[in-house]
A and B are shown apart, each in its own frame.
Chain A
Amino acid sequence: MPSATLLGQALISGVLAGGLYGLLAMGLSLSWGLLRLVNLSHFALAFLAAYLVYELGTNYHVEPWWSAALIVPAMFAIGVAQHWLFDKFKVNELASLLITFSFAIILEVGIQLYWTADFRRYETEYATRSLKAGPFYIPILDLTLCLVAGALAWGTWLWLRCTYVGKALRAAAEDPGIAAAYGVDHKKLAYLLSGIGAAYAGIAGTFIALIATLAPAQIWAYLGVVFAVVIIGRLGNPLGALLAGLLIGASESIAMAVLAPAWAPVVSFSVLIAILLWDPEWL
């Protein structure tokens, strides 16, 4: 039986690691839930952002936070441009899967062409600092990620709940025709939301550059687990996405500490299936 220290440490690591799942899931969940577009290129955009942070950091010695200040607005613009294509070609949910998959492949090839397929590692002093709390260590970078993800999730949730734009978006997601007849300009809002989703990919990418492996094929490493997180967290619900991310991260980590690390990939889908079978009211 693992010690309490081990369990506690695993829980802390897992919850914090889950922050990245949540952060990645948020943008995906928004566009899937509110625009009915499944944006597979979300992962590729996050990695593009990560590579840019890496590039600016290693070659030009730009601090990741400054890089993010440049990259995140650029990602917003890419998101808007992407939606222009969706709009122009009247893309539906199924077609969006195919189109964004192709877009992701193109980005992957582009990344490989410029940065090669080789592993890239952005060495920073942030990566390994920790706070100590009793017998536990709390990595500062992971904690920052979680706090940022939490702030974004709360902010986005409140925005969707309390602002006219947010409510109009949710109304339009449910019934675009009726919403239009009530004066909701769904198209304009969709551009905004698409931009926001891509900007979140940019924020996630900044953290990916700091904590994860950069290789073109890694784009797909988060696909399965993040999809599970999106579904557990309910489509279009940023707070749900974050909480589901933390839940999956914690479950994976506990499984690694108590059972065997090789069980980790099974956990996300087991939790997903369990929750789908349980079918709680909030889902």
Chain B
Amino acid sequence: MAELLSVSGLSAGYGRAVVLSDIAFRLQEGEALAVLGRNGVGKTTLIDSIVGVTQRFGGSLSLAGREIAAMAPEGRAAAGIGWVPQERNIFRSLTVEENITAVARPGSWTLDRIYGLFPRLKERRGQSGGSLSGGEQQMLAIGRALALNPRLLLLDEPTEGLAPIIIEELLRALRKLFREEKMAGIVVEQHARKVLPITDRAIVLDRGRIVFEASSAALLADGAPLERHLGVTGG
């Protein structure tokens, strides 16, 4: 499979504070990567750095062979980065459908297909974004990112703060995306148990560095390395 994303020597942070140092990893087309780690180790910073909303101190980022490290967020979105931010940040004053169509780019992910993935959004299409529940907002945030027809989908703690039944629904949708649609993605998650079954590979961050890397299947079979690095039994 062809290489989609290549990160090397990446140092980044906010303002003058360096959060990530010397990050390097690769992602293949159609591959789903879990980014694990405790609170405050730089998982969100990694996602934000790929989106382009952090301060970059060094290193390179290339998407499908194209260097994107110097690009503004607008350019990276056009190059194929689809972002589902941790706070969801949906446009509250726009309707559900407008949230999707306001940013839509041509491609295979049409409004109908997005509604197909999240039927609840179709039911709520005319409602304002601000009136949605947390889970619906998360679905909308994912739908909105898909509307960009991205090559790479970045999800930052997609299950945080949601009811278990909603989490189930979300994970089913993500599994479908990654497994059936072969969408390439990076999922930041504190709880490894939720995300390992839907991803191909996992990296563990600690204090701004990658400290461990393995296939998701292997980690599911043997949780010991996770316990070592995360101090938990896989959450």
Contact = CB atoms under 8 A, between A and B. Distances in A.
Query: Is chain B in direct contact with chain A in the complex (CB below 8 A)?
Result: yes
Interface in A136-193: 161, 164, 167-168, 170-171, 174-175, 177-185
Interface centre among B52, B76, B103, B105 (most CB of A within 10 A): B103
Nearest to B75: A183
A175 B85 CA distance: 13
B99 to A, nearest CB: 8
B91 A170 contact: yes
A175 B104 CA distance: 17
11 contacts: A167-B101, A168-B102, A170-B98, A170-B102, A178-B89, A180-B72, A180-B73, A181-B85, A182-B144, A183-B78, A184-B74
Contact of A182 (B72, B92, B103): B103
Contacts of B78: 183
Interface of B: 51-53, 72-74, 76-78, 83, 85, 89, 91-94, 98-99, 101-105, 144-145, 148
A269 B27 CA distance: 61
A181 B98 CA distance: 16
Given A168-B103, A184-B103, A175 B91 contact: yes
B74 A175 contact: no
A179 B148 CA distance: 12
The 10 closest A-B pairs by CB, nearest first: A183-B77, A167-B102, A182-B103, A181-B73, A178-B89, A171-B102, A171-B91, A180-B73, A174-B91, A167-B98
Contacts of B145: 182
Contact of B102 (A177, A180, A184): A184
B148 A183 contact: yes
Nearest to B76: A181
A183 B52 contact: no
Interface size bracket, A side: 10 to 19
Nearest to A165: B102
A170 B130 CA distance: 14
A183 B83 CA distance: 11
A100 B52 CA distance: 33
Nearest to A167: B102
Contacts of B92: 174
B77 A181 contact: yes
Interface in A258-275: none
A185 B83 CA distance: 16
Contacts of B83: 181-182
Contact of B74 (A161, A167, A185): A185
Contacts of B52: 181
A170 B53 CA distance: 21
Contacts of B53: 177, 181
B77 A167 contact: no
Interface centre among A168, A175, A178 (most CB of B within 10 A): A178
Contacts of B144: 182
B94 A167 contact: yes
B94 A174 contact: yes
